[in-house]
Amino acid sequence: MVYLRAKKVKSDNYLYLVKSVWDSKKNTSKQEIVKYLGKASEVVKDDIPIDYRDDPKILSVLALHNPDDIEKREESTKKSKQMLYKKLTDGDIKSSVKIYEEYIKIFSSADFFDKILRPVMYKIGDDWANNRISIATEHVASNVAQTLVKIIMDQVTGMVNKKKILVCVPVGEEHHLGCDVLETYLSIKGFKVYNMGTSIPTESILSFIESNKPDVILVSITLEDNIPAGQRLVKKIKEQYNIPILIGGFALQSKKIPKFEATVISDIPLDEIPKILRTA
C-alpha cells in the first residue's frame, strides 16, 4: 500500500510518499519512504511518481493539503512549459528569461529547472528524434537554453559552501545543458562548483582533480551511446582517488540502469541533490 504522509515542521506541513512493507522478522508492517515531495502547499500532481500519480486516495489527500491552489499551480506549470517550448524553438531568449522570472515569483528556481526546463528539453529532443522539428530548430533551442541558464547563473549570489563539486562529462558527450543547470542551482545553494561540461580527455579530468581536489564528482551523461565512456571515466577516477562519484543524466532514465563504480541518481528532483552532496 502506498499513501501520503504529512509531517509538520514549525507551522508548515511537508509531504512524503510512503509505502507499507511487511517485516517478517518482527511480524509487522513498517513504513518506507518512496519519495520526499516537499512543502505541502507547493506539491502538485506532477511531483508524484508516475506509477502512483492517478491513485484517487493520493490525489484526495493532496487536494486536502492544497485545495485552492493545486489546480491553479498545475495549470501554471503546464502553460509555462508550453510557452517555454515555443520561445526556445523560436530562438527568443528575451521571452524565455521573462518566463523564468514570472515563474519563480510563485515557485522556486529548482522547480523551474525540474518541472519546466528539463521536461521541455526532453520534449525538444524527442520531437527532433521523431522528425517533428528540424535539427536546426533543435540546435537553436539548445543554444537559447544554454544562454538562459547562464543568465540565471549571473544572478546568483550568496555564501560559498565548504564543499567543492566537480561537474563533468565523459569523452564524446557533447551535451552540457545538464552540467550548466547543476552549476547554476548548486551555486545558488552555496557550493563551489567546477563546471567541466565539455568533452575533454580523461587524463585532463584526472589532472584537474589532482590540482583542485573536489569533494564530490558529478558525471552527466545525456546519450546512451556515451554510457561505456562514462563507465571508463568512473573506473579511471576510482583507480586514483577516493572521492564520492554521482552519475546522472537523461541516459540514466531507462528502467535498466547500467552498472557503475559510483552512485547512480537516475531520476530525482533537483532540490534533493544538495542533501546528497552534503552527506556524500
Q: What is the pLDDT of residue 86?
A: 96
Per-residue confidence at 140, pLDDT binned at 50, 70, 90?
Answer: very high
Question: How does strand 2-9 pair with strand 12-23?
Answer: antiparallel
Q: What is the pLDDT of residue 157?
A: 55
pLDDT tens for 238-254 read: 999 999 999 988 888 77
pLDDT tens for 221-232 read: 988 899 999 999
The pTM assigned to this predicted structure is 0.59
Rounded to the nearest angstrom, the gap between the alpha carbon of residue 275 and the centroid of all alpha carbons in its chain is 13
Buried residues in 211-243 as b, exposed as e (16+ CB within 10 A): eeebbbbbbbbbeeebbebbbebbeebeeeeeb
Residue 273, pLDDT above cutoff 60: yes
Q: Left if phi > 0, otherwise alpha if psi is -120 to 50, otherwise beta: which for 61?
A: alpha
Which residue segments constitute the domains of the chain, with CATH numbers given? 2-65 (no CATH), 70-154 (1.10.1240.10), 164-279 (3.40.50.280)
Residue 68, pLDDT above cutoff 60: no
Percent of the chain with pLDDT over 70: 93
Per-residue confidence at 80, pLDDT binned at 50, 70, 90?
Answer: very high
Residue 39, pLDDT above cutoff 60: yes
Per-residue confidence at 40, pLDDT binned at 50, 70, 90?
Answer: confident
Instruction: Name the residue with cell 562519484.
Output: 245
CA atoms within 13 A on the CB side of 67: 2
Residue 72, pLDDT above cutoff 70: no
Least confident stretch, 5-9, 133-137, 162-166 = 5-9
Per-residue confidence at 67, pLDDT binned at 50, 70, 90?
Answer: low
Burial grade of 135 (CB within 10 A; 0-12, 13-18, 19 or more): exposed
Percent of the chain with pLDDT over 90: 36
- Mean model confidence pLDDT for the chain: 85
The backbone torsions φ and ψ at residue 8, rounded to the nearest 5 degrees and listed phi first, read -90, 125
Average pLDDT over residues 75-93: 92
Q: What is the pLDDT of residue 217?
A: 96
Nearest to 177 by CA among 137, 217, 231, 222: 222
